[in-house]
Amino acid sequence: MGDFASRMIIDLEKFAESRGIVFSFVRDERDMMDFFDAQALFTGSNPPHTLVICSILSSKSVKKLDKIFPSATSMIDASMSGVPYRAVAGDLTFMAGGMAGGVGAFEAALLVEIRRMAPLDGVVQ
């Protein structure tokens, strides 16, 4: 792991408590569910306050997550457009949806301009 090893937090509960926002870049719903099952990142007593899903998950998968999601945690659906080419060019676009306050936190965390139409309250129904 090289130089990065000294910055890793092995204890999942400590990791969850020390992270306000978690960005998820997973392949599919099965990997996403590891946050709740195998890793238990969002099932502890003090989970991160925001999960930003940067993968393209089906609306069925997002609705499934919403049913088991901690009430104190915001979920932002922020799929990316143009990966990897636009990322290399420095012009990656995120399409972010979720509660207005959560989308604002997502924007602040990235510290970049994000193109979006408008915050949508109650996206997951």
* Nearest residue to 75 (alpha-carbon basis) of 95, 94, 99: 99
- 16 within some domain: yes
- 28 within some domain: yes
Where residue 36 falls among pLDDT bands split at 50, 70, 90?
confident
pTM, two decimals, is: 0.70
**Mean of per-residue pLDDT scores for the chain:** 75
86-103 pLDDT, tens per residue? 777 777 777 888 877 777
- 124 within some domain: no
Q: Is there a contact between 54 and 98 (Cβ–Cβ < 8 Å)?
A: no
Alpha-helical regions (H) of 19-93: 29-33, 59-68, 85-89
Average pLDDT over residues 32-53: 82
* Residue 1 pLDDT: 52
The C-alpha atoms of residue 114 and residue 37 are separated, in whole angstroms, by 32
Alpha-helical regions (H) of the chain: 12-18, 29-33, 59-68, 85-89, 100-110
- 80 within some domain: yes
- For the chain, the domain total comes to 1
The C-alpha atoms of residue 88 and residue 82 are separated, in whole angstroms, by 9
- 93 within some domain: yes
78 alpha-carbon distance from chain centroid:
7
- 118 within some domain: no
* Nearest residue to 99 (alpha-carbon basis) of 64, 73, 65: 73
125 alpha-carbon distance from chain centroid:
18
Average pLDDT over residues 68-75: 83
* Domain span holding position 48: 2-110
- 120 within some domain: no
- 73 within some domain: yes
CATH of the domain at 18: 3.40.50.720
